[in-house]
Chain A
Amino acid sequence: MTTISTEVLVIGGGATGAGVAWDAALRGFDVILVDRADLAEGTSGRFHGLLHSGGRYVVKDPVAADECVAENPILRRVIPDCIEDTGGLFVTTPEDDPAYGDQFLAGCQRAGLPTEEIGVDDALRMEPRLNPGIKRAFTVPDASIDAWKTVWSLARGAAQHGARVLTYHAVVALHKDGDAVTGARVRDELSGEELDIEAGFTLNASGAWAAQIVKLAGIEGIGVIPGKGIMIAMNHRLVNTVINRCTMPADGDILVPIRTVSVIGTTDMREADPDELPVTQAEVDQMLADGERLVPGLLQARALRVWAGVRPLWQDERSGEQATDTRDVSRTHAVVDHSARDGTRGLLTMSGGKLTTLRLMAQDLVDAMCKQQGEDRPCTTADVRPPGNEDGDLYTLGSRLRRREGTQQQEQLICECELIGRTKLEETMRRRGTQNLDDIRRSLRLGMGPCQGGFCIYRAAGILHGTGRLDGAQATASLTSFLSERWHGMWPILYGDQLRQARLDDWIFQGLLGVQHLPPANGDGRVEAPAQETVA
């Protein structure tokens, strides 16, 4: 059994974990970050894409509102390349109480959130597809934020400062020495081998799975209510501003333009298991209807993909709070101090929170650790840009188009929908060192456009195979697993244009290529004779 050691073990590679690793690494700690899957595959990779101005919380959850007001500009400063300044609107739809708008304004004022009421005509000029029946409209500094870019940027930044990032390493046990947590045993999910990590301190940033982790330390009475929410990505930007319903937080009340799509969300249903998040027909119909209310005609637009994310809603039996409606639980975050609560040292858990406050959550968690260790190392994440954000420019939608224009005469376009050229693709494949096309998808948005991989996934499998990363069996497995994974997000919203696309893709993959008839993987795969010769 190999053992590696570090000062800080971070469990969970979502926005929280990556933020913690970055923060701790900047403070000079030696860090190992582990996640049982790819980075941002949990809640972070399945969220709405909204960088909150705080407007959503000013009335009902002022603490959360204050946090958003503070953090929004900080994130724009340090990770601008992950953020598009779409702006936001709060609109009173015909079904909403116009008086709420006054509460909204008062709440914004209290929180110091810059807002302005604009005329309905102006709002409709800004966003011609908005429901023409809206009665009031308010501008806010909402933005859209790319979670994968964010998480990878933070992780790469941490790595540049010496951190080790171990994806596909699941925690199977926490090590204790007396009353202190001293590290963990992890299993490499790809090789099956196990590995011990000795850590001076363990930070549990595993979000919806945090309760499962603390149980490994023998800690009881803590739960996380998986609050499932579904979101549907519509094929193109029906709006270019974040649209919020000006009302108490409800289902389906936000439409976010993020990258090339617009995302309508979300629902809130209590589930039992954060790994079992079914998408129900009723939820889908509800989201589409909610979207139609904001943008009439949405029902005739093309729905691309549906997914379910899970909010980590903290429930501590000891504190006596029992939330019934998961929406009533505060969206702010808290550090769970296990030495105070459970007499267990060397372990802290981050509970609750939202992506917008990821930096603050990381700061609070690492500060708490420093305090317990008697370390005086201040946080610097509010002023340092992680890799990829160096030029300080906010992301613009046209950036990939501009880049492609420059390379059009030099290189092939592999994923046409999302404008990914061959060079970038091969670079990412090399850097990730992965055999899994879904990992590449998360890094580059490969196959996330309208054709959902119909054309590009075959090409990507061929390229991955050609770079020597895969043999035929592995290429086959990667292709079929991509197709199965993508199907999960398609079939509940399969109608209209997307059904047409799906049938064309079925023809390509099953009829033309016959992927389901490829010989199955059988062990050692690699062909004896050199598989390819290149003639220059």
Chain B
Amino acid sequence: MGITDKLSHSQHDHDPPDVLGDLMRGTLDHCVKCTICETFCPVANVTPLFPGPKTVGPQAERFRVRGEESQDHSLDYCSGCGVCTQVCPQGVHIAEINTQARAKLKERDGFSLRDRIIARPPLLGRAGTPAAPLVNKTLASRPLRLLGEKLIGVHHAAAVPTFAGRTFQGWAKKHQSPPATRRVAYFHGCGANWYEPVVGEKTVGLLEAIGCQVDVPRGQSCCGLPLQSNGQFDAARRYVRTMAKRLAPAARAGVDILGTSTSCTLMLKREAREILDLMEDPDLKVVSEHMYDICEYLVMLHDRGELALELQPLPMTVTYHAPCQQQGHGIGKPALELMALIPELTVIENDAVCCGVAGTYGIKVEKYEIAANVGRGLFDQIEDARPDLAVCDSETCRWHIEGSTGVRTVHPLEIIHRAAGLSSDAELRAPA
């Protein structure tokens, strides 16, 4: 080989554009049974009810025939955390195979009322917001939660968020973002909309402070991730297509879309396309190409020298847990890089693969104990550190961590917001 201008991409493409028809399933051929995925699986490590991602994924898939019933219920114990795919040295899309197989299993077995409800945050949001104080009281009442557990199957001790009683969308409608040269769009997600509008407001505020004009596209609904995780693929696709339609105009105009829910951004960036077989959907494609996790985006700007942010000292100690789905972005831990810019802030990086809740998984009565065991190591680390705050990019993880440790848990964005002088200590520590 002589000297060439480009060391181009080698002819051997390990994961070619799929010609075998099944993008995820075809990757099972790469499995060499090395067991690495099983050593990392947080669920298999705490319960024998789940035999492990390799077992229910590439291994069992060879025994599943399109059109024939899927046989193995142990598959349902997969939490969908996605760590297996990340650690697989051979490029098997294990978590994606599992999620697709679970959908087939559910198709056959049918969907419970509980799974239909908890997989539709907008439904819950719309139902709970008007009567928020009453609903919140109910959710805080142990006897009523015990009753709820019996009727619906959501564990009585599972951390559930408090309804804000207002929506972020409502705030955004009234908010005028000052014009600026850099334009971004904000994908707020259900978490910010119904439960944590303050997070959304802070996000907009911070972005404006660094010189962005923030557009909040109207009519944003749910990214469909809970539906996908619960095997309701047709409904999930409808949600995804709707979201994609709402965000596509911004993407087509070349505007980057930022999200504060790291699971939801991952869903639209990658998972929906791979798992729901929507690779070629034109709206979703352009949205996916412009979708960023908020910390990812801020670090990008920082790397380019374009992050115009003055950060004041923040003498506190915080722990940081990168949610499993944040890891799924494959971008490292940009939240840490951002917090490292804040003088006097001590950040303790937690060493845990998953907090256990995995979206809707850990609140289910039959999965709660498992989720608690998965998260135990993380909770111990946080408690031992005795931090002022715990930090985590995903809302369901925050609620789960806070519920289990009692430590107020915030989005990294809120730390930056505080250090930028845009909010006070009290506001930082205030419950959502």
Contact = CB atoms under 8 A, between A and B. Distances in A.
A240 B66 CA distance: 8
Interface in B71-88: 71-74
Contacts of A497: 29-30, 32, 90
A300 B16 CA distance: 8
Given A397-B64, A401-B63, A301 B34 contact: no
Interface in B1-60: 16, 18-22, 26, 28-34, 48-49, 51, 54-55, 59-60
Contact of B65 (A240, A402, A416, A419): A240
Q: Which 8 A-B pairs have the closest CB atoms?
A: A297-B19, A302-B29, A401-B63, A402-B71, A401-B71, A260-B62, A297-B20, A451-B33
Interface residues of A, number: 37
Given A129-B20, A260-B62, A417-B59, A450 B32 contact: yes
Interface stretch (A219-227, A339-347, A403-411, A473-481): A403-411
Interface stretch (A180-188, A204-212, A231-239, A354-362): A231-239
Interface in A295-324: 295-297, 300-302
A450 B63 contact: no
B70 interface: yes
A397 B64 CA distance: 7
A396 interface: yes
B72 A405 contact: yes
Nearest to B64: A398
B72 A401 contact: yes
Nearest to B33: A451
A398 B33 contact: no
**Most chain A Cβ neighbours within 10 Å, of B29, B31, B66, B72:** B29
Contacts of B63: 260, 397-398, 400-401, 419
Interface residues on B, range: 35 or more
B402 interface: no
A161 to B, nearest CB: 34
Contacts of A504: 32, 34
Given A398-B69, A405-B71, A450-B62, 18 more contacts: A235-B28, A260-B63, A296-B19, A297-B18, A301-B29, A396-B65, A398-B70, A401-B64, A401-B71, A402-B71, A416-B54, A416-B55, A417-B59, A419-B63, A451-B32, A500-B30, A504-B32, A504-B34
A454 B33 contact: yes
Interface in A398-430: 398, 400-402, 404-405, 408-409, 413, 416-417, 419
A455 interface: yes
A229 B33 CA distance: 31
A115 to B, nearest CB: 21
17 contacts: A128-B21, A240-B67, A296-B19, A297-B19, A297-B21, A402-B72, A405-B71, A405-B72, A409-B48, A409-B49, A416-B55, A417-B59, A419-B59, A451-B33, A455-B33, A500-B32, A504-B34
Contacts of A455: 33
B303 interface: no
Nearest to A130: B21
A235 to B, nearest CB: 5
A111 to B, nearest CB: 29
Contacts of B65: 237, 240, 396-398
A238 B19 CA distance: 11
A451 B22 CA distance: 22
B61 interface: yes
Contacts of B69: 398
A13 interface: no
A497 B51 CA distance: 24
A402 B72 CA distance: 6
Interface string B197-225: 00000000000000000000000000000
Given A300-B16, A449-B62, A497-B30, A405 B55 contact: no
A72 interface: no
A300 B19 contact: yes
Contacts of B71: 398, 401-402, 405
Contacts of A451: 32-33
Contacts of A295: 20
Contact of A301 (B20, B31, B32, B90): B20
Interface of A is mostly: loop
Nearest to B16: A300
B19 A236 contact: no
B280 interface: no
B68 interface: yes
**Most chain B Cβ neighbours within 10 Å, of A236, A396, A402, A419:** A236
Interface string A372-410: 000000000000000000000000111011101100110
A112 B65 CA distance: 30
A240 B64 CA distance: 10
A509 to B, nearest CB: 14
Nearest to B66: A240
B60 to A, nearest CB: 6
Contacts of B16: 300
B180 to A, nearest CB: 48
A227 B21 CA distance: 35
Contacts of A167: none
A450 B69 CA distance: 23
Contacts of B49: 409
A399 B26 CA distance: 22
**Most chain A Cβ neighbours within 10 Å, of B51, B59, B70, B74:** B59
A365 B22 CA distance: 48
A455 B54 CA distance: 14
B51 A408 contact: yes
A413 B72 CA distance: 15
Contact of B62 (A236, A404, A454): A236
A106 B97 CA distance: 44
A6 interface: no
Contact of B20 (A300, A397, A402): A300
Contacts of B29: 235-236, 301-302, 450, 497
B62 A237 contact: yes
Interface in A123-155: 128-129
A497 B48 CA distance: 30
B20 A501 contact: no
B226 to A, nearest CB: 26
A397 B18 CA distance: 25
Contacts of A454: 32-33
Contacts of A300: 16, 19-20
